[in-house]
Amino acid sequence: MSDILNLGATEQLASMKAGQFSACDLMRATLTRIKEVNGAVNAVVSLRDEEALLSEARAADAAATRGLLHGLPIAIKDLANAAGIPTSQGSPLFAGQIAQEDDPHVARLRAAGAIVIGKTNTPEFGLGSHTYNPVHGRTGNPYAPDLSCGGSSGGAAVALALRMTSIADGSDMMGSLRNPAGWCNVYGMRPSWGVVPDAGQGEEFLHQLATNGPMARNPTDLALLLDVMAGPDPMQPHGRALAESAFPSSLRIGWLGDWGGALPFEPGILDLCTKALDGFTELGADVAPLDAPFSRDALWQSWVTLRNWSISTSLADLMADPAHAQHLKPEAIWEATQGAALSAMDVHRASVIRSDWFRCTARLFEQVDILALPTAQVWPFDGTLDWPKEISGQGMDTYHRWMEVVIPASLIGLPCVAVPAGFGANGLPMGLQLIGRRGADRALLRAAEAYHAVTDWPARRPPPMLQS
């Protein structure tokens, strides 16, 4: 494996600045790696012309440093717009549609000097934590390409794991930055809601579930990318600055496990994540199990109501046109139909539960600094399936019920860093969610960096195809 590509983003940037290699060298190595491994996993899509990318890299070498990411290649998740590159959203309705301008966070990446090489694959409209769609096909897990890599930031996670990129953007409504990070042995961060701007279109006041965020192979690079992506957008009303935050020197972690027995898990996941927490114990942290702090059923009812409502509004125009609606995948139609049937009072009641859960976490964070949960309830599953229908004998009543473990952070916009937890007896990776109070983004990143220093799973267990 190329030493250049084995470096993290921060190290690559420092090496370029020191003259050890050029942006053009890095771009050549990147494109070579994509040729070597992408065919087996299908993570990077809509790759730009090689000579155009090398020309941009040569221009970066000849220019003064533009910003924190000067000369660094990056592929953008195919839900976001990057000017001059198709934005399919995984839907045949938008296949080949060329973006005319950058979304706000993409514009910030370019302004910081990053070179956009193409897109990373995602499920249709980002729905479901399994990356497949009728436009670009399925993305395979880097540790077993016939298995799911998770999603919806699946292509980004796989590109990182296989050293096709050193940083990646993603987005997260229901674990889309966390589940694929856990299944691909990399890091993903869902920031506090409002820290990273969205596309800045349409209604801007009511929906507070999804956010953009960074992915990387180490927390230092997560922090680097978050610094570039973060900050209020004057065209959006709820933006917030990335605040300084710190935890006490003696870190307190509350392990929520299976939510008091309420959440089903496949065998081995809870044991692995419990063992992963030993990494924090080695650092002097106090790790203790917590009883379920809130009703699982209430959280789920609030979540599905608010999510159905949000998705129904985003797909309303497509659903209104039968010629378009027929091309939507069944899960999208189901979500939109459920959401359209809700009343204003249904939404209000769901938001009351959400508010109660926020107040509950405020009390929890008086006792602990971090809440910990696994990133998924199942191991990476057969890539030919659409979604898991049961977990350890318990049937799943929706296409996304198997992802329930991620909603405690998503529902109320809490920051969460997904860190690698290691590997099960099946040889597959799993992750651990570290959840903090609103605004504790920097503190969480520092805690994750301390954990990384004693574990470094991405370096210890790179994907098999990189070891051959």
Q: Which residues does the annotation mark as catalytic?
A: 77, 152, 176
What is the dihedral sign for C-alpha 377, 380, 386, 391?
negative
Residue 293's Cα: distance from chain center in Å?
Answer: 25
Nearest to 367 by CA among 249, 254, 250, 245: 254
Which of 171, 195, 190, 187 lies closest to 244 in space, CA to CA?
195
Instruction: Name the amino acid, one letter, at 19.
Output: G
Decide: 400 and 431 in contact? Cβ < 8 Å: no
Q: Say which residues have a Cβ less than 8 Å from residue 373's Cβ, sequence separation at least 6.
A: 256, 257, 273, 405, 406, 408, 432, 433, 435
Strands (E), 20-172: 44-45, 73-77, 115-120, 132-133, 137-138, 140-141, 144-148, 167-172
Residues shown for the chain: 468
Measured distance CA(402)–CA(390) in Å, rounded: 8
Residue 188's beta-bridge partner residues? Answer: 215, 418
- For the chain, the C-alpha Rg in angstroms (whole number) is 21
Q: For residue 460, what are the CA distances in angstroms to 25, 197, 323, 429, 452?
A: 26, 34, 50, 12, 11
Closest CA to 80 of 134, 120, 135, 136: 120
Separation between Cα atoms, residue 419 and residue 140, nearest integer Å: 20
Q: Tell me if 158 sits within 8 A of 43, measured CB to CB.
A: yes
Both structure tokens of 64: 């003064």
Q: What is the DSSP letter of 79?
A: T
| Tokens coding 194 | 């409002």
CB–CB of 435/213 below 8 Å?
no
Helix (H, G, I), strand (E, B) or coil at 350: helix
